[in-house]
Amino acid sequence: MRPDTHPGSLMARIGNSALLVYAVLVLAFLMLPLAIIVPMSFSDQPYLTFPPSGWTWHWYEEVRNQPRWLTAAWNSVRIGVPVALLSVVFGTLAALAVTRSGSGWSKPFSLLVLAPMMLPHVIIAIGLYPTIVSLGLAGSYLAIVIGHTVVGIPFVFVTVSAALKNYPPTLDMAARTLGANGWKTFLRVTLPMTWPGIASGGLLAFATSFDELMLALFLTGIRTETLPRIIWDQLSFALTPTIAAAATLILLLTTLLLGIASLLGARRSRKGE
């Protein structure tokens, strides 16, 4: 019997082919909405239609010329930047505590930090809303920054934890032996070695904040509405291609940030080899 006709080899080939087909179907399922929304943003019709009968940049000009869209975009950036910074601080501290402690509480603590990534955001929003109202922060920038930071910290925690796994703790011990305190050791030794993981987590936290809708529905007000919130509102009464244009711009920014994060992750992997 030829080696390639062995029953085990045949089953392996069938399994690999089935896995490939499954991966292609999943990718097509994920990409199909994008393949529809982007062309609709260039439609020459005053309503959402696919496929477009003609092409125009008019709806992108509408986004640029309407103050409400520009204000929402600025709010998304104004909220996303502090969310990324706070997520980097707390996520990095949590990752350092877990990877360096070696105690029995590290696994339960890790699950606690990762919980916002696994829970539906509507549950987080329902839990945060009464607290935000009782503190008198409803509709404020601080309220939405707090909410988005809760869901941003796990991304930093994951990327920094992965970076620290390839980082030998003996380097910190050597720095401490040479007289550096904990803060100087982190700034001059740990941070330069793990910054790709920290930066990747910060970018992912910013992208998550920029795309987040559920928390925005509960925590934002008229002054603090974000792009996902205004898109949701527009879907209720004005189904124009302006919505598709705004969604496409968000998609482009998110893709860019994820691409940068992937490059940083690849650089971190090469350093760990």
Query: H helices of 49-140, where?
Result: 58-65, 67-101, 106-118, 121-134
Tokens of 245: 């244009």
Q: Is residue 200 part of a domain?
A: yes
Tell me the residue range of the domain where 108 lies. Answer: 66-272
Do 23 and 88 fall into the same domain?
A: no
Do 266 and 147 fall into the same domain?
A: yes
Q: Is residue 52 part of a domain?
A: no
Do 36 and 71 fall into the same domain?
A: no
Q: What CA–CA distance (Å, rounded) separates 265 from 273?
A: 13
Q: Is residue 59 part of a domain?
A: no
pLDDT digits (tens, 9 = 90+) for 196-227: 788 888 888 988 888 888 888 888 877 888 88
Q: Is residue 237 part of a domain?
A: yes
pLDDT digits (tens, 9 = 90+) for 82-121: 999 999 999 988 888 887 776 667 778 778 888 888 888 8
Predicted TM-score (pTM) of the model is 0.76
Do 113 and 232 fall into the same domain?
A: yes
Q: What CA–CA distance (Å, rounded) separates 255 from 169?
A: 34
Q: Is residue 46 part of a domain?
A: no
Q: Is residue 90 part of a domain?
A: yes
